[in-house]
Amino acid sequence: MLITPDISTLSYKRQLAKRFDRASRSYDSYADFQKIVLDRLLAMLPLSQADVVLDLGTGTGQALGILSQQLKPKCNIALDLSPQMLTVARERFSALPNLHCVCADAERLPFQEKSCDLVFSSLAVQWCLSPLDLFNELFRVTKPGGYVVFSTLSQGSMPEISQAWVGLDSQRHVHDYMAQDALLDCIKASGLNLLSSQLSDILMWFDSPEAAIYSLKKVGASLIAGDAHSSVSPTRWKAFLREYEKQRDERGVPLSYQVSFIVAQRPAIV
C-alpha cells in the first residue's frame, strides 16, 4: 500500500528544503559549531573500510572528503532534502570518484534494503518529523553488520534564546528537540544495536546577540519552523536582542547546545 504524506508534513519538508536552499552559499562561512560536531563524529567511526557509504543530510558535503579518504568506498552517496545544498556539494567534490548526489527525504529513502555499509549523518536527524520511521528506514537500508553513526541536537539546546524571550511573548522560539532517552528508545525499537552514546554540552561564544542568531540563520537552522525574525515585530525583536545581551560575560554572548553522538549497528546474520 502506498502511504501518502499528509499536507502538513509536505509543507514542513518544502519549507525545510527552501530554508537550507537559501543557506547553501553562506553555510560554510558560518558553520563553526557544525564543524566541531562533525570532527567529533568522524573520530567515532567504527570501521576503516566500506563499500557503500551514505552521508545523510550531507549539506555542503563537509564530511564527504574525509569519509572517502578514510573508508575508500566504491560508492559515495550524498543525500539531502535541499537541491541547492547538493549543488554546492557536487561542485565541491566534482573530482570525487563514484559520488552520487540524491535529493530525497531521509524518512523515505529511495534505496534498496541492506545496501549501505555505513549511514553517516551529522546534525540532520533533528529535522525529521518521525524518528521511529527514520530509524526503521536506516535499519532497512543498512547491511547486516553495517553501522549507523550520527549526531543530533537534543533537548536542552539553546536555552539562552528561550531565556531571552521569557516575558516578551508566549510563543515558542526554539525547536523542540528529542530527549536523549526517547532517542535511544527509537533506535532500539528499530532493531539497531546501540554500541555507544554520548550527550555533550557544546558552548559557543559570539561578539553580539545578532552574531549568535546569524550562526543559526546562515546555516539554515532557523529557530523555529519559520524565520523567527520575520515573524516578530521589529520592536519585539529589538527587545529580544536587549534581553539576550544581558547574558554576556567576559567571553562574549553564549549559545549552547546539547548534542547526542550515536554509534549503532544492524545485527549481523549468523
- Convert the pLDDT of each residue in 238-249 to its tens digit: 999 999 999 999
Yes or no: say if 248 and 125 are a contact pair by the CB < 8 Å rule.
no
Q: For 132-160, b where at least 16 C-beta lie within 10 A, e where not — what string?
A: ebbbbbbbbbbbeebbbbbbbbbebbbeb
What phi, psi does 235 have (nearest 5°)? -65, -45
Residue 118: inside a domain, yes or no? yes
Number of structural domains (the chain) is 1
The amino acid at residue 98 is N
In a domain, 171, yes or no: no
- The confidence score (pLDDT) of residue 139 equals 98
In a domain, residue 1? The reply is: no
Residue 245 cell numbers, joined: 545581551
Q: What stretches in the chain show pLDDT beneath 70?
A: 1-7, 222-231, 270
Beta strands per DSSP E along 139-252: 142-153, 193-206
Q: Kindly give, in sequence order, each residue whose CB lies less than 8 Å from that of residue 172, ignoring residues fewer than 6 positions away.
A: 224
Q: What percent of the chain has pLDDT over 70?
A: 93
Alpha carbon distance 215, 196 (integer Å): 29
Helix (H) or strand (E) holding 131: helix 131-141
Q: What is the CATH number of the domain that holds 112?
A: 3.40.50.150
What residue numbers bound the domain in which 196 lies? 7-155+176-203+255-265
Q: Is residue 147 part of a domain?
A: yes
Q: Report if residue 83 sits inside a domain.
A: yes
* Domain assignment present for 75: yes
Examine residue 161 and state whether it is found in any structural domain, yes or no: no
In a domain, 237, yes or no: no
Neighbours of 81 (CB within 10 A): 23
**71 contacts 49 by C-beta, under 8 angstroms:** yes
What pLDDT is recorded for position 227?
Answer: 43
The sheet that has 193-206: what strands, in order across it?
Answer: 99-103, 75-80, 52-56, 116-122, 142-153, 253-265, 193-206
pLDDT tens by residue, 45-95:
999 999 999 999 999 999 999 999 999 999 999 999 999 999 999 999 998
